[in-house]
Every structure is written in structure tokens, then in C-alpha cells.
């Protein structure tokens, strides 16, 4: 795949509360999502992560709908229980090369499960289906909305590795969201966070650590090696 960096410019989001008042979530924010990297938005629960991902996914509208090259995986990965793994992954595709399908299904760890049905398996299994479906569509960007945060730690480690591998080896930009500081550090090449709430700026912080440390199951890195006290206070509702 020959993917490029994604440049997000001057996006805003607000909503109206029950009283009809306009609530601003973020305004005129800009940032880049690099090809071959995992970029993560880190913010407390309810502070605009999902709104940001959906806004980015909807940028670049085409005449007959949304930009289908930006694929959003929601918090609850979607699959059709009446379709098997193969049918789920190939859903809505006119045609694909069988060798491409076989390579991708092996890549995401579903080789041998093609004829199985997703409802018989775990949340993590269904995420792999959604992830494979995203990859096979040859996306310019994959957006993952806290989809693996509920999994046991070891299963998370496996998916951190998979997500990072897909980003780096396939050169697909991946935009991830989480409210967990440690998860953000483990999975990210760069962490973004809002400067305030509501936000008018996004701040970026590169995460430079070796791959083995990212899946070390000991008590994780000292958070202060990556974030100042003020930064931690800014996202103080996030979980460690």
C-alpha cells in the first residue's frame, strides 16, 4: 500500500443541549496523522474523542456519501452474526483477489476461521474481523475508537502488536482513541491531547520507546517520563 500522511485542518464540533444552548467541543483544530504510524487522541471520558474521530472520518465527502477510504471502527466492533468470517470481511466488496483475502486473514490471526460465525467468539475476535474488513478496503486511514480497551491485558498486548504491525508494514495511518495514559503510551508513535476543554488546539507528543517495552506486563513505565505534572492534571480524569 502506498499511503500518505493525513492532514486535518481547522475542524470544529458542537452540539445543542436539552435547553437549546450550543456546547462547543473543539474549534478550529489542526493536526497531522502520519503514514505508517499510530497516532492517538488521549482525553478523559466524554471530552470529545469520539466526536473527533467521527469528524475526521467524515472529512473529504464524495458525491454519493462519505469518504469510504477513511474507515471507522466503533467502540463495539460491528459484525453480522448471520454471516461467517469470510462473508463479514468481504461484505460490500464487489470483488477481491482471493490471494489478498488469504494474506489479510492470516495477517490478523483469523486463518482457519473463515467459515466460523462471529457471535460464537470473543470481543477481540470480532475486532479482528472489523480490522481485516478495514484493511481489505485499501484505506487511506483507519480510525479505532477505544475498541480494545475492555479486553484483558494479554489480549490487549496482542492487538497492540497487530495494530502497530499493520501501521508500520502496510504504511496505513491509524488514528486511535483512549482515555488511558498507559494504553496511549503502549500503542502510540505520537499522542495528541486537547489543550483545554473545549479545545482550540491539539498538542502532540512523540512516544519513542522500543517495541518490547510496549508489551511488558510489569507495572508500566513511569508516567512522568512522558508527561509533566501539568499535562497529567489536564487529563486528570483519564485512567492510569
> What is the tens place of the pLDDT at every residue in 153-206?
889 999 999 999 999 999 999 999 998 888 888 899 999 998 888 888 888 888
pLDDT surpasses 80 at 11? yes
Mapping DSSP onto H, E and C, the string for the chain reads CCCCCEEEEEEEEEEECCCCCEEEEEEEEEEEECCCCEEEEECCCCCCHHHHHHHHHHCCCECCECCCCEEEECCCCCCCCCCCHHHHHCCCCCCCCHHHHHHHHHHCCCCCCCCCCHHHCCHHHHHHHHHHHHHHCCCCEEEEECCCCCCCHHHHHHHHHHHHHHHHHHCCCEEEEECEHHHHHHHCCEEEEECCCCECCEEEEECCCCHHHHCCCCCCCCHHHCCCHHHHHHCCCCEC
- Higher pLDDT: 121 or 92? It is 121
pLDDT surpasses 50 at 65? no
Mean pLDDT of 107-128: 93
Supply the pLDDT for residue 196: 83
Q: Where are the domains of the chain?
A: 6-75+142-234
Supply the pLDDT for residue 50: 92
Mean pLDDT of 38-62: 85
* Fold designation for 6-75+142-234: Rossmann fold (3.40.50)
- Higher pLDDT: 182 or 115? It is 115
The mean of the pLDDT values for the chain is 85
Mean pLDDT of 115-143: 94
Supply the pLDDT for residue 125: 94
Binned at pLDDT 50, 70 and 90, residue 1 comes out as: low
- Higher pLDDT: 118 or 221? It is 118
**Weakest mean pLDDT among 125-134, 175-184, 195-204, 230-239:** 230-239
Mean pLDDT of 118-144: 93
pLDDT surpasses 60 at 222? no
- Higher pLDDT: 240 or 97? It is 97
pTM of the model: 0.87
**Weakest mean pLDDT among 2-6, 72-76, 173-177:** 2-6
Amino acid at each position: 500500500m502506498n499511503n500518505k500522511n493525513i492532514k486535518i485542518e481547522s475542524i470544529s464540533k458542537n452540539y445543542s443541549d436539552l435547553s437549546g444552548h450550543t456546547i462547543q467541543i473543539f474549534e478550529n483544530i489542526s493536526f497531522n496523522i502520519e503514514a505508517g504510524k499510530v497516532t492517538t487522541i488521549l482525553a478523559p471520558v466524554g471530552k470529545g474523542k469520539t466526536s473527533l474521530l467521527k469528524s475526521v472520518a467524515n472529512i473529504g465527502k464524495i458525491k454519493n456519501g462519505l469518504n469510504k477510504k477513511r474507515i471507522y471502527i466503533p467502540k463495539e466492533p460491528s459484525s453480522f452474526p448471520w454471516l461467517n468470517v469470510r462473508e463479514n470481511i468481504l461484505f460490500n466488496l464487489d470483488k477481491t483477489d482471493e490471494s489478498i483475502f488469504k494474506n489479510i486473514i492470516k495477517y490478523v490471526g483469523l486463518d482457519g476461521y473463515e467459515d466460523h460465525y462471529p457471535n460464537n467468539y470473543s470481543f477481540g475476535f470480532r475486532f479482528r474481523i472489523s480490522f481485516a474488513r478495514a484493511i481489505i478496503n485499501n484505506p487511506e486511514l483507519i480510525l479505532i475508537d477505544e475498541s480494545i480497551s475492555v479486553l484483558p491485558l494479554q489480549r490487549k498486548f496482542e492487538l497492540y502488536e497487530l495494530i502497530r504491525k499493520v501501521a508500520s508494514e502496510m504504511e496505513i495511518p491509524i488514528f486511535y482513541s483512549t482515555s488511558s495514559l498507559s494504553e496511549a503510551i503502549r500503542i502510540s508513535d505520537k499522542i495528541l491531547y486537547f489543550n483545554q476543554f473545549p479545545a482550540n488546539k491539539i498538542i502532540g507528543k512523540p512516544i519513542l520507546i522500543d517495541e518490547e517495552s510496549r508489551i511488558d506486563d510489569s507495572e508500566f513505565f513511569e508516567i512522568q517520563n512522558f508527561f509533566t505534572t501539568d499535562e497529567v492534571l489536564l487529563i486528570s480524569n483519564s485512567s492510569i
